[in-house]
A and B are shown apart, each in its own frame.
Chain A
C-alpha cells in the first residue's frame, strides 16, 4: 500500500515539471483495494484496468521503471511511449492493458476469461472498474455474458463517488446498491468499505476462491475516495464540486494510516520495520524516476510504426 502511495506521490511531485506530458489519474487515497488484490492474485491470472490504473498495474506486479518511463514518454516505457499513463501493460505478469475509455476494458477482461476457460488453464480474469463504468452499456453486456457462460471473472469496482466532477447523485438513483443490482443479474457479489482492511481482504479472498473453484463470475464493490483531482497532481477541493469536509472525512479513513496504526498497536516495535520498508520503497521510487529521466525518447520515425502487426 505504501509503495503505491509513494509512487503516486512521486508522480504528483514531479508532474508540475512538465516532463510527464500526458494526463495522469492518481490513486492516492484508493490504495487499499489494489494492495489487498496484490496479496490475493496469482501472477498467472489476468488483469485489466482503467484510466486510473497505476495502482492496479503495480499491484499485479507490473514493472515500476517501465511504468514511470511510459509516463515520461520514453522508449523504455511499458508501451514504448505510444500509450502513456492510460495505456499500461506488462505481459510478463499478465497485466493485459488499461483503457482511457470508461468501461472499454471490461469486455476485454471477459474475453480473457473466455480464453482461459477454452484453454482450461484455471486462470482468473480480474477487471478493475469504477462507479462511472456502471453507467456504461458495455458493463451490462459484459456481466451478462460472463454470467451466461459462467466465466472465471472477478469484477472489482472501486466506487470513489465521482465521475470526473459529477457526483453519484446525478448519475445513479438514490439508495441504489450497485452490488445488489449486479446480484439481480445472476452474479455473486460482495460489498464493503475499502477502508475496512480486514473485511475487504476477507471479501477479496472469498471472491477469488469462488471464482477459482469454477463457480462463475463474482462482483465486488468497495467504497473509496481519491484525494487529488480527477486528472492531474493537485488537490481540488476548492473548485466547488465537493466539500473540504467530505475530503477530510475520507482522509481520516486513510487506509495506509489505518494499517500503520493497527500494526503498531499489535506490535510496538513495528515502527522500525515499517520505516525500513519505507526507505527501501523510497529508494526504489527514486530509482524509477531517475531511470525514466535518463531513458532516451523514442525516435521520431517510430510514431509511424506498429500500425499493423506483421
Chain B
C-alpha cells in the first residue's frame, strides 16, 4: 500500500467518486481556487469540467437547498465548507430539509448529499473557526455523521458517504490533513456506523473520535510503558454509532473514558456515558469519565490557549486517576511546545 496524507486521500476519493458516478457534482467556496481546500479538491475541475466542479456564491444556506433539489432529481453532490462555523448559516436547509425529506414525504425521496465540514483547534482560529459541533448534527434524526481520523478511513468513509442514499456530514479535523498513512488503491468503502478497535487493552476503554484518536493513542502508548493497558476505540462514525463495539469493550475493561473534541455539555461523550451507565452500570468498576472542550468559546491568543486543549498528558492523568494509580505514577508528559499545533511527536498515521 502507498503512504499518503489525509488530504490526498480525500482528493483521491473525490476523483474516484466523480469517475464512478458521472452525474456527481462537487462544489463549495474555494474548491476550484489555487489552494483547493487544503489540497483536497485539486485537479477536480480540470479533470471533470466546470459544470460538475464549481465555486459558489457565499450562500451556505441556499447552496445546501440546491444540493437537496439536485438530489431529488438524481444528482448527488459533495458540498465543501472550509469551516463548520460557516455552515451554521445552513442549518435550516440541513435540519428542516435534507435530514427530514425522506421521512416527511413518506419515504419516497432520498437525499444523497455529502457535506464536508472542516473542524479544528489551535493556530489562533478563535471562537468561530475552531468549533467541533458533531453533537449538533448527531442530535438530528435522518443525518449520518462521520469523523475519520486516518487517511485510509477518510478515503473509505468519504466514498461510503457519497454513495450513501442519505445526507452525510463528513467532519475532517484540520490537524489531520497532513497526517500520513497507508491508503489502499482504488475503490473501497469503510462502512458508516462501524468503529475501529485501534488498540486492544484490558484496564480501561478509551473512546475517541477524529483528532482525539491521535491523542488517545499517544496516551495509551505512554501508559503501556507504565504497565497500564488501554483499549482504544476510534468511533469513525458518530451517527449511527457502533454501540456493539463500545459495549463489548466496556464489558471487558469495566472502565470508560470518552474523549470528545467538542464542548462538554451535550456532547457525544455525554451520550455515550449516559447509555453505558443506564444499561451497563453493573460492569463499571469506576465512574465513567469524559474529557472534552470546556464550555467556553475557544480564545484566539497563543497565551490564552495554553492548557486549553485536551492532550495526551490530560488523558494519561485521567486514566491513572480512574485506576487509582495517580499516587504511584506521575505523568511526565507535558503539553507539546508549541501547544497549538499538532506537535513534534506527531508523525502519523495514528
Contact = CB atoms under 8 A, between A and B. Distances in A.
Contact of A101 (B64, B69, B92, B109): B92
A145 B56 CA distance: 8
B65 A142 contact: yes
B303 to A, nearest CB: 37
Contacts of A116: 73
A104 B92 contact: yes
A145 B105 contact: no
A141 interface: yes
Contacts of A110: 62, 65-66, 69
Interface residues of A, number: 46
Pick the 9 closest A-B CB pairs, nearest first: A111-B69, A107-B65, A80-B106, A141-B62, A309-B110, A141-B59, A306-B107, A111-B66, A115-B73
Nearest to A75: B106
Interface string B17-40: 000000101000000000000000
B62 A106 contact: yes
B92 A145 contact: no
Contacts of B214: none
Given A79-B104, A307-B142, A308-B144, A112 B70 contact: yes
B231 to A, nearest CB: 30
Contact of A308 (B67, B71, B92, B166): B166
A56 to B, nearest CB: 15
Specify which of B25, B108, B141 lies most central, judged by the most chain A CB atoms within 10 Å of its CB: B108
B294 interface: no
B6 interface: no
Given A79-B104, A108-B69, A145-B66, A115 B59 contact: no
A196 to B, nearest CB: 32
Contacts of A114: 66, 69-70, 75
Contact of A309 (B52, B61, B67, B107): B107
B59 A109 contact: no
Contacts of A307: 102-103, 141-142
A137 B61 contact: yes
A6 to B, nearest CB: 26
A50 interface: no
